[in-house]
Structure 1
Amino acid sequence: MSSDLDHPWSSDLTNPGGTTRRLLVRQARWIAHDVLELRLTRPTGGPLPAWEPGAHVELTLPSGLRRPYSLCGEVADSEAWTVAVHRVPEGRGGSREIHETALVGRELEVRGPINRFPLVPAAGYLLLAGGIGVTPLLPMARELTARGLPWRLVLGARDRSRLGYAEELVALGGDRVLLVPQDEVGLPDLAAELAAVPPSYAVYACGPRPMLDAVTALCRTADPARSPHVERFTAADGTEPVQLDAPSGEFEVVLARSGLRLTVPADRSVLDVVREKLPDVPFSCEEGYCGTCETPVTAGLPDHRDTVIEPSERPTATTMMICVSRCDSPVLELEL
């Protein structure tokens, strides 16, 4: 995901670290079928740090699971952060816990805001959402409307009951918003949507893996080719973490702040080895798509295998996702 730190939306909110604070789950409400919205505030009230469209926070759930969720409330609402969570029965447990636990009135540890999906300057914007993927795009649509910039948003879901924030989006954008309930009209015509906007438009997409893979392929083969901005909820290919499949040997990791030197075997991740000594190192997806485990690199040559850092940015990247990425040098030094 690329960004331009000189454009009006950019700030140090893109810092991969983020601050941790305890927030109260003040309110919960249903905004679509199997989608629960949580409103988070300071326990005693008061303003929260500002954030920008595309930002997310990471919740530590009562069980200890850490999960990232896009902020989808009003940027101007300084009193609360809002996230919406889709229940995925076959998922890894985070969404089920949120839906099945009485969270209202409880405090959660919240890290962020963090923005790896920021708006970049463009002549206009095509926003493509699948299901819960609407959450980071809704604040973008609000921001673009406020700035008087052209945009179009396409939201698809299995049926109308799953089109989250549909009424608000239509009220906001009118005929700039296309709702696509699959049971009525089929899948969104992504090729037609991409062909209908000028090459100068930025393309943003968030949703299920097949949709994002399709958007990426269509943009790659377009004339001229486009570079879409995508945010994934699952690994790019749905396989096991990539370091288990790709060849890689053993290497050493030096933890600069802790003064530790550890051996990372060929069949284990950096994250696994580091957590044996530093169990509080943050992580979530363990598949290289969420960015929670992003760690500064102070020496060595990282072998980037995540989907967070754009391929074009990897040669100069100063951080790595330690859940999947490895090392092309004998020793890797991390700021841990």
Structure 2
Amino acid sequence: MELIVRDRRDEADGVVSLTLADPEGHDLPVWTAGAHVDLTVDLGDDAHVVRQYSLSSDPADRAAWRLGVLREPAGRGGSEFVCTKLDVGDLVEVSAPRNHFELAPATDYLFVAGGIGITPILAMIAHARAVGARWSLVYGGRTRSSMAFLDELAVYGERVTVVPQDEQGLLPLAAVLGDLDPRTAVYACGPEAMLAAVEATVPHRAALHLERFTPKVIEVEGPDEAFQVEFATSGLTATVPAESTVLAVAEELGLPVDFSCREGTCGSCETPILTGRAEHRDSVLDEAEQAENTCLMICVSRAERGCTTLRLDL
């Protein structure tokens, strides 16, 4: 869908927020806290990139969506364009929301955010307040000036603990998470080092939910092997070479695949598994979801070693 930039604000050093709305004033699609959208950025000369950004506004507000974007000058141009070129009145192509970081029902939430990872957490706080759940937030960043939305969070008082690294050091995760009530649901989003530390500290892993902006390190045993993939809906069977992916093979066959990041982080290419077992290499599904083996991210995941054929609903 094509949306218009209704507002643009500098939220912190290197962080810009964009408020997007329907040009005709219609309500936007329903979404839930933790969702993200794909933003298609036209770089000119027929070049464009697709980037995923979490929705940081209140899910109850159907009039507009707000995104928080971290400027990354060393990136591939997407965030640089959004932060320096997009302005109020511009039109931009935006996908429908997708959610692989769904906020499960709970009476108590602990939110942990690092840097730009605060964006989906803001929507979760709005939802927690709406349903009357108890919640608290621990929010870290390099410096106070680099931490977005601090003014917005200040109204919550002691519910929010702000930890600028240059003032107080790293997040005190052992103190915050070490003696956690098992009924508390923990939602964390931020840089990989922080998420790894959270995973190592939370005593009740079933209550932990993470969202990654970059792929986690996946350790594999031995070199990749070729395997067969049967695209059941399309009636085609093909070999996935050791050096290729299911997504690449599907593209070569002209199948209607949805994808974006090609890194296993956005969830766009999630595909149901009909038979066979996958070796999951994504950063979207948690351990329990991977063990269920009902779907895989075809941009990175493969057939499990010893499984010669994957049958997919594609």
Q: Is structure 2 residue 270 aligned with structure 1 residue 294?
A: yes
Secondary structure at 1:231 match in 2:
strand
Q: Shift of residue 38 of structure 1?
A: 1.3
Secondary structure at 1:217 match in 2:
helix
Among residues 287, 294, 310, which one is paired with 1:332 in the alignment?
Answer: 310
Once the two structures are superposed, the pairs formed by residues 66-215 of structure 1 within 5 Å of their partners are 66-171=50-155, 173-195=156-178, 197-215=180-198
Query: Normalization by structure 1: what TM-score?
Result: 0.84
Secondary structure at 1:320 match in 2:
strand
Partner of 1:5: none
Secondary structure at 2:239 match in 1:
strand
Which AA in structure 2 matches 1:313?
Answer: E
Identity %: 46
User: C-alpha separation between the residues in 2 aligned to 1:95 and 1:102?
Assistant: 10
Which AA in structure 1 matches 2:264?
Answer: G
Which AA in structure 1 matches 2:287?
Answer: P
Distance 1:60 1:333, change over 3 A: farther
Partner of 1:283: 259
Equivalent residues, number? 308
Partner of 2:2: 22
Q: Shift of residue 199 of structure 1?
A: 2.3
* RMSD after superposition: 2.2
Secondary structure at 1:75 match in 2:
coil
Which AA in structure 2 matches 1:278?
Answer: G
Q: Shift of residue 279 of structure 1?
A: 7.7
Secondary structure at 1:324 match in 2:
coil
Q: Shift of residue 69 of structure 1?
A: 1.0
Distance 1:28 1:263, change over 3 A: same
Contact 1:66 1:283 in 2 (8 A): no
User: C-alpha separation between the residues in 1 aligned to 2:126 and 2:68?
Assistant: 17
Contact 1:84 1:135 in 2 (8 A): yes
Contact 2:29 2:96 in 1 (8 A): no
Q: Shift of residue 290 of structure 1?
A: 2.0
1:184-213 deviations in Å (ceiling 9; x for gaps)? 111110111113542221111000000000
User: C-alpha separation between the residues in 1 aligned to 2:264 and 2:255?
Assistant: 19
Q: Shift of residue 327 of structure 1?
A: 1.1
Q: Structure 1: give runs of 5+ residues left out of the alignment.
A: 1-20
User: C-alpha separation between the residues in 2 aligned to 1:22 and 1:260?
Assistant: 34
Contact 1:125 1:151 in 2 (8 A): yes
User: C-alpha separation between the residues in 2 aligned to 1:231 and 1:214?
Assistant: 14
Contact 2:58 2:127 in 1 (8 A): no
Distance 1:225 1:316, change over 3 A: closer
Q: Structure 2: give runs of 5+ residues left out of the alignment.
A: none
Once the two structures are superposed, the pairs formed by residues 44-59 of structure 1 within 5 Å of their partners are 44-59=24-39
Contact 1:126 1:197 in 2 (8 A): no
Query: Normalization by structure 2: what TM-score?
Result: 0.90
Distance 1:317 1:24, change over 3 A: farther
1:276-333 deviations in Å (ceiling 9; x for gaps)? 3338633233222221221223333222221212222224332210111011332323
Contact 2:184 2:207 in 1 (8 A): no
